[in-house]
Amino acid sequence: MKAFLACCLLAVVSLGFAEILFNDKLNDADWESNWVYSEHPGKEFGKFVLTAGNIYNDAEADKGLKTSQDARFYAISRKFPPFSNKGKDLVIQFAVKHEQNIDCGGGYVKLFNCALDQKDLHGESPYEIMFGPDICGPGTKKVHVIFSYKDKNILVNKDIRCKDDVYTHFYTLIVKPDNTYEVLIDNEKIESGSLEEDFDFLPPKKIKDPEAKKPEDWEDNPTIDDPEDTKPEDWDKPATIPDPEATKPADWDTEMDGEWEPPLIDNPEYKGEWKPKQIDNPNYKGPWIHPEIDNPDYTPDSELYARKEICAIGFDLWQVKAGTVFSNVLISDDLAEAKAAAEIVKDMQAGEKKMKEAQDAEESKKVEEEAKKSAPADDEDEDEDEDEDEDAKKAPSDEPAEEHDEL
């Protein structure tokens, strides 16, 4: 009984420490009072607008910030009380809807420390974590997962595929204190692994021994030439021979054309370059494997996951074709809370698909109606063509009469 009560108490304490660190659905009409546009010189930044977009499930609840201008950089950010994820889970989650059929553009977020100058935010601004989808043509459709480590941006070594349709999708990054990570799309895990193994944070644990060299007498060829095999005496035949059926042309002038020689043809008896047959190498030792030693430059780091300070989030990206809607940004150390928040994606997608199907049906109807409207005009043109044909038939019968009168 005591053990049971202790477990319950521990669960309550654990729940008590779970915390939502940042939550902005991006559907507040007063959003510009919280988010700051960059004024970094030399770039023409695009504007965000508050809208649910062209397809949605709920016109109000599904509002978000939408990129509104083509071929623009976008850079906005918002600060919040600083926190560290040391010793805790970190969950970064947000929704993206590329309803413009995006051809090239980013859909990711960046997390910054408190040193960020919000009005000078740009592509080279240092960040702690970058996460989210990036699309550019058929070759780049990936989910970026990038961590800053010792002033370098370390990219995940795996190719994580993002969604490229026109519907809302929730992207979730989970970073754990055991130096592991997970990437979820619409609450389904699509990738996971070890930070040390999947990112080049650290040099390799082992390196090839610089002192080791392959012995000169090491035999790593499994076969060798048969020393007893000899080339047949009749082997050497030329690759080409004079055509025996060719004859000198009757008009060939030796003085003018030189000595006649028949053209060359492939020699049917040519056997190619002779090579002795292969036999098993009696001294074969297998491939030589370079011995490894501990890398003196390797130092383990049990806190690759840890961010000492996070206090800002931003959208810092480029888009060729605007129309992406961002919403439901959540940063937390509560996995269950994040999972529950992302469950709304099912209803959002269902509503969006229903509306898009209706819009597509309406567009098809308009196309059919336009086709019908143009049909009568086509019939009139055919009648006019028929009248012209009748006139053309009459004209030839009149012309001979005129010619006869002139005579």
Distances (CA, A) of 108 to 4, 111, 135, 295: 44, 10, 10, 36
| Domain assignment of residue 395, yes or no | no
Task: Write down the pLDDT at residue 384.
Answer: 55
Over residues 383-406, the pLDDT tens digits come to: 555 555 555 555 444 444 333 333
Q: Do 200 and 154 touch, CB atoms closer than 8 A? A: yes
Q: How far apart are CA 148 and CA 201, in angstroms?
A: 9
Task: Write down the pLDDT at residue 376.
Answer: 63
| Domain assignment of residue 295, yes or no | no
Distances (CA, A) of 259 to 48, 252, 339: 86, 9, 91
Task: Write down the pLDDT at residue 407.
Answer: 29
User: Residue 128 maps to which CATH number?
Assistant: 2.60.120.200
| Domain assignment of residue 185, yes or no | yes
Spans of the chain, pLDDT less than 50: 1-16, 395-407
| Domain assignment of residue 197, yes or no | yes
| Domain assignment of residue 267, yes or no | no
DSSP 154: E
Task: Write down the pLDDT at residue 369.
Answer: 87
| Domain assignment of residue 122, yes or no | yes
| Domain assignment of residue 139, yes or no | yes
Task: Write down the pLDDT at residue 149.
Answer: 97
| Domain assignment of residue 9, yes or no | no
Q: How many domains does the chain have?
A: 1
Using DSSP's 3-state secondary structure scheme, residue 195 falls into helix
Task: Write down the pLDDT at residue 14.
Answer: 39
Q: How far apart are CA 141 and CA 161, in angstroms?
A: 6
Over residues 298-312, the pLDDT tens digits come to: 999 999 999 999 999
Q: Closest by alpha carbon to 94, among 329, 339, 326? A: 329
Using DSSP's 3-state secondary structure scheme, residue 115 falls into coil
**What string of H, E and C letters represents the secondary structure of 281-347?**
CCCCCCCCCCCEEECCCCCCCCCCCCCCCEEEEEEEEEECCCCEEEEEEEEECCHHHHHHHHCCHHH
pTM: 0.76
Task: Write down the pLDDT at residue 65.
Answer: 98
> What domain range is 103 assigned to?
20-203+302-358
